[in-house]
Amino acid sequence: MDAFYASVATRDRPELADVPVIVGGGTRGVVLSANYPAREYGVRSGMPATRARRLCPQAVVVSPEHEVFGTVSAAVAETFRQVTPVVEMLSIDEAFLDVSGSVRRLGAPSDIAEQLRSRIHDEQGITCSVGVAASVSVAKLASKRAKPDGVLVVPPGSVTTFLHPLDVGELYGVGEKTRAMLHRLGLITVGDVAHTPLRTLQRALGHGLGTHLHELAWGQDRREVLARNAPAFGAITGDAGADPDKSMGAQETFGRDVDDREVVLRELLKLTAGVTGRMRTAGVAGRTVTLTVRFADFTTLTRSRTMPEATDVTVDLYRTAVGLYDALGLQRARLRLVGVRVEGLAPRGTVHHQHLLGEREHGWSDADRAVDRATRRFGSGVVRPASLFG
């Protein structure tokens, strides 16, 4: 995301679009983020607030809303997962996506990048920049070069042309100390590293680091994208200490505010079906359902209910979500966003279902798994609840 915290903090304040904005800091704190106009004055995240105000005294300082940041990040992550299940959230505002399995369905990687950027802008009101490449490290560098609000594609045949003129400090994972050490050795650009014999690098830097940097300099990054949530994500979302590996959720920002219960319930069903599908793929079940609603004035409410048994059955979790929604008694309240999260996840093999007398041998759980098999074979959306057609 581009200047994520600042973008979220100002997205509904158009009067701040071209004004230097600093998020956080207070009287004695540090800057959480700064928008691009503020960065032109040298303001950076992590900088003491007093220094930031000296550099840019005309900046508008806004307080961070951590729950809002977490909500937007979760929505963006869910958008990513609708493109590919292989999403590695590096942080609240950055991710790697392996889209190799999505090209046939969605088009070239560059097309997927534009689709994602357009959807995130439309749904969340913020911009992002995307780097497209055959390796993680080159894609990371390309995304930095694409900022703000752009896409940069580095085809396999252009990797060395792209990499070799860059400063060695640009290489993914090279910090200030390693950069300074390389500069002392006369290795200023990535091309310098690439054209230094491997054994010379290994003698100067150690076998492991020398080999790693040599491979990066030629765009030969062996690192694979691993599906995982952002580190310590529960803390930023304000989910009362929720463990990101023990919960799954999804949310949707409506194109316009909604006050129709049937529309809300259809969206809840769609979101719940998506979450439970991911749960079954991961082989987990959960007991606690959390509903999130955000009103037109951005006021947000969350309500949770814990069921007697853990489950991954769409109908069971959807019914619980509907009960939470109806219990709010919203009548004709206008909603901007609705979300569903299932918490307390555990491996499904450790969950034991108590069968009831007279219960059918095959039920909704079997139906869900039949839908999963059809989806894997024919693509998403081929089988869905009747209320979601049309």
Closest of 384, 74, 59 to residue 248, by C-alpha: 74
The CATH number covering residue 252 comes to 3.30.1490.100
Q: Round to the nearest angstrom and report the end-to-end CA distance of the chain.
A: 33
- Residue of 129 and 175 predicted with greater confidence: 129
Q: With residue 235 as reference, give the H or E element that holds it.
A: helix 233-237
User: In this structure, what DSSP letter does residue 135 have?
Assistant: S
User: Please, are residues 339 and 237 in contact by the beta-carbon 8 Å criterion?
Assistant: no
**0.75 exceeded by pTM:** no
* Same domain flag for 91 and 49: no
* Same domain flag for 206 and 249: no
* Same domain flag for 207 and 328: no
- Residue of 77 and 368 predicted with greater confidence: 77
Given the residues 15, 40, 88, 94, the one annotated as active site: 94
Last residue of a domain, one of 207, 238, 269: 238
* Same domain flag for 150 and 272: no
Q: pLDDT, tens digit, for every residue of 221-267?
A: 878 888 877 654 333 333 333 343 467 888 888 878 899 999 999 99
291: three-class secondary structure by DSSP: strand
Taking only Cα atoms into account, the Rg of the chain, rounded to an integer number of angstroms, comes to 24
Tell me the percentage of the chain whose pLDDT exceeds 90: 47
User: In this structure, what DSSP letter does residue 157 have?
Assistant: G
In sequence order, what are the beta bridge partners of 291? 303, 340
In this predicted structure, what is the pLDDT of residue 245?
Answer: 45
User: In this structure, what DSSP letter does residue 232 have?
Assistant: T
Rounded Cα gap, residues 130 and 76, in angstroms: 14
**pLDDT band at 14; cut points 50, 70, 90:** confident
**pLDDT band at 367; cut points 50, 70, 90:** confident
* Same domain flag for 50 and 78: no
In this predicted structure, what is the pLDDT of residue 344?
Answer: 82
* Same domain flag for 224 and 268: no
Rounded Cα gap, residues 146 and 291, in angstroms: 36
pLDDT at 185 over 70: yes
* Same domain flag for 83 and 229: yes
Q: Which of 11-15, 176-180, 361-365 has the lowest mean pLDDT?
A: 361-365
Q: Averaged over 169-192, what is the pLDDT?
A: 90
Q: Which of 134-143, 300-309, 355-364, 378-387 has the lowest mean pLDDT?
A: 355-364
Last residue of a domain, one of 238, 268, 294: 238
The CATH number covering residue 81 comes to 3.30.70.270
Rounded Cα gap, residues 44 and 20, in angstroms: 12
Q: pLDDT, tens digit, for every residue of 292-338?
A: 998 888 788 888 888 888 898 999 999 999 999 999 888 778 998 89
Annotated binding site for Mg(2+): 93
Domain tally, the chain = 3
In this predicted structure, what is the pLDDT of residue 362?
Answer: 58
The DSSP code sequence of 329-387 is --TT--EEEEEEEEES-EEGGG----PPTT--SS-HHHHHHHHHHHHHHH-TTSS--GG
Q: Averaged over 50-67, what is the pLDDT?
A: 89
Rounded Cα gap, residues 271 and 341, in angstroms: 9
In this predicted structure, what is the pLDDT of residue 284?
Answer: 84
Neighbours of 263 (CB within 10 A): 13
- Residue of 75 and 194 predicted with greater confidence: 194
In this predicted structure, what is the pLDDT of residue 331?
Answer: 76
Annotated binding site: 93
pLDDT at 91 over 90: no
Q: Tokens 């105000």: give the residue.
A: 53
Domain housing 320:
242-388
Q: Which amino acid is at 380?
A: S
In this predicted structure, what is the pLDDT of residue 242?
Answer: 38
Q: Which amino acid is at 276?
A: T
* Same domain flag for 197 and 317: no
Q: Catalytic site residue 224? A: no
- Residue of 44 and 351 predicted with greater confidence: 44
Q: pLDDT, tens digit, for every residue of 122-146?
A: 888 999 999 999 999 999 999 999 9
